[in-house]
Structure 1
Amino acid sequence: MVSISSSMLFYLSPKVSVIKYNSKGEEEGEIELPDVFRIPIRRDLILRAFLSEFTASIQPKARDPMAGKRTTAKSLGIGHGVARVPRIKGGMRAAFVPMVRKGRAAFPPRLDEKIHEEINKKERTLAIMSSLAATAIPDLVKERGHEFDSKTVPIIINSDILNEIKKAKEAREILGKIGIYKDIERAAERIRVRSGKGKMRGRTYKNVNSILFIVENHNSPFARSVTNMPGVDVIEPNLVSVTHLSPGGVPGRLTVITTEALNALSKRFSLGE
């Protein structure tokens, strides 16, 4: 349970209701979203939380402290008519300094540099809640470039779909009936080959983020049937974070949530006085 002051509750938007779909992709009435989907959108906190999660995954790297310095080179000093750069004994070849061949690096990366941008726990939690609230605003979802025909967002689907849909073909049909499969097609069309040396390092393709599925069981048949679709991510409600909800620190990702996962999100981010 998240403890939020009563002053925060004062700024909550009105109750939001969205269309609920059954396992056949048909409308099954409306469902009221929990209070977490009504809090203000804090773009500043969302960006900070994203940068914190992103920088936490970066592998620290540094140069050997003695790289380019293992040499007997010494400066000849003044009065010889040559520059006072270190030169190898018995010759005139310069060494050690940054501007010569095989010299040291001028300002190499160091391990003592702070890479991870830290953030307070309550700020991170509020950023996740704000990202969830952004998924319920159609204008923000369209602003991210998502394409959909559904009347409301996020898409709420009955949890029965997790065991009833077992093939990717069936999943595509259901998503097509709801009006969101075109976003996966958009992501597939925009997959492109990376320019540069990243192609040689296991990063050949650049992908686009599409639908986020929040389900209570990521090993269910339905979750496995959609997990390999272009740009799709599948996550359980207890693990959802800003990285999933707001890729790049930009809120408003097109999201599909099962009814059981919605209840789990409501319990995880229930607002307390």
Structure 2
Amino acid sequence: MNANVYDWECKVIRTIELPEHFQEEVRVDIIRKVTYSYWSNRRQPYGSYKFAGMEASAWTSKRRRTYRTSYGFGISRVPRSIFSGHWGYYFLWYARIVPNAVKGRRAHPPKPEKIWRVKVNKKEKKKAIRSAIAASIKEEMIKNRYPKLFKYIKPVIDKYKLPLIISDLEKVKKTRELKDILYSFGLKETLEYIKEFRRNRAGSGKRRGRRLERHRGILVVVSSDFNNYKLKLEGVEVEKVDRLDIDKLAPGGEPGRFIIWSDKAIEELNNLYI
């Protein structure tokens, strides 16, 4: 399988042979399995205090004619604390400790010793990455991933075909240069749509530093020699080819991300994820 390489002015400069990754069978089940493992391994263990709800001075007795007995009062056998009392016989009790009581412990609290890590075979990880790369050149999967954005991406796909390979992306020094290159390839409306796609997150996440939901946008893959981490363009992720993972290639376990490749990244890909 061959693909054209374009310069910054959208002109074809040569044709290169693509790695075997692009001909891989797309296994959505393995992609989602590895994605589940990826996010499980990022989880931080959490749990409640070990003795939460159990530090009350409460107990119960059903012996007859003894101090602080609850025999004969028609009440359940649960631990109780004394709120007030007199004569050593009659007390005002409050149930404590048990899960169904006020200020009692939880029945099944989260355990900090729980193991969240999910192991996946190394071959499956590489298979998932190759599958996600192969899915990035299938128009039907891109359409499924970008149901609203696809109408802006479709003209670019029809004109330049997939995968879109641009030469010397590693030489980009400024964000403005990267923006101009993407605009020249007809991605202006795509980036504007991604930038406008902001909405308040539902639920408590907006009170925890995640107020807005943002579009993951498109991915630009460069060679391992790239070291300009100042390129920050909303809706565009820039990543080295040797640092790709399943979250970059198929966010959320959904394959078909629109990817722009550097010609040097394609050359390095021949020796990676095999």
Give the CA deviation at 1:22.
Answer: 0.6
Counterpart-to-counterpart distance in 2, 1:123 and 1:59: 24
User: For the Cα contact (< 8 Å) 2:45–2:113, is it kept in 1?
Assistant: no
1:177 corresponds to 2:181: no
Counterpart-to-counterpart distance in 2, 1:231 and 1:56: 26
- 1:162 corresponds to which letter in structure 2? E
Counterpart-to-counterpart distance in 1, 2:22 and 2:132: 9
Counterpart-to-counterpart distance in 2, 1:155 and 1:21: 8
Q: CA, structure 1 residues 83+182, in 2 after alignment: closer, same or farther (shift >3 Å)? A: same
1:32 corresponds to 2:17: yes
1:87 corresponds to 2:75: no
Q: Matched residue of 1:256: which SS?
A: strand
User: For the Cα contact (< 8 Å) 1:218–1:234, is it kept in 2?
Assistant: no
Give the CA deviation at 1:76.
Answer: 4.0
User: For the Cα contact (< 8 Å) 1:215–1:261, is it kept in 2?
Assistant: yes
Q: CA, structure 1 residues 87+269, in 2 after alignment: closer, same or farther (shift >3 Å)? A: closer
Counterpart-to-counterpart distance in 1, 2:226 and 2:95: 61
TM-score under structure 2 normalisation? Answer: 0.84
User: For the Cα contact (< 8 Å) 1:20–1:28, is it kept in 2?
Assistant: yes
RMSD between aligned residues = 1.9
- The residue number in structure 1 matching 2:88 is none
Give the CA deviation at 1:178.
Answer: 1.4
The one of 46, 51, 64 aligned to 1:61: 46
Counterpart-to-counterpart distance in 1, 2:230 and 2:3: 26
Q: Matched residue of 1:224: which SS?
A: coil
Deviations 1:44-89 (A, max 9, x none): 1000111111111110111111000011111344532122221114
Counterpart-to-counterpart distance in 2, 1:31 and 1:182: 29
Counterpart-to-counterpart distance in 2, 1:107 and 1:72: 22
1:205 corresponds to 2:212: yes
- The residue number in structure 1 matching 2:242 is 238
Counterpart-to-counterpart distance in 2, 1:192 and 1:155: 30
TM-score under structure 1 normalisation? Answer: 0.84
Deviations 1:131-162 (A, max 9, x none): 11111112211211043122322221102x33
Counterpart-to-counterpart distance in 2, 1:233 and 1:100: 51
User: For the Cα contact (< 8 Å) 1:22–1:157, is it kept in 2?
Assistant: yes
1:51 corresponds to 2:36: yes
Q: Matched residue of 1:23: which SS?
A: coil
Q: Matched residue of 1:55: which SS?
A: helix
- The residue number in structure 2 matching 1:120 is 121
1:193 corresponds to 2:193: no
Give the CA deviation at 1:94.
Answer: 1.3
Instruction: Give the structure with higher Rg (CA).
Output: 2
1:251 corresponds to 2:251: no
Q: CA, structure 1 residues 23+224, in 2 after alignment: closer, same or farther (shift >3 Å)? A: farther
Give the CA deviation at 1:218.
Answer: 4.3
Q: Which runs of 4+ in 1 moved over 4 A?
A: none
Deviations 1:217-261 (A, max 9, x none): 4423xx633xx2223222111110111100000111010111111
Percent identity between matched residues is 31
- 1:248 corresponds to which letter in structure 2? G
Counterpart-to-counterpart distance in 2, 1:142 and 1:19: 22
- 2:272 corresponds to which letter in structure 1? R
Q: Provide structure 1 residue ranges, at least 5 long, that are not aligned to the other structure.
A: 1-14
- The residue number in structure 2 matching 1:268 is 272
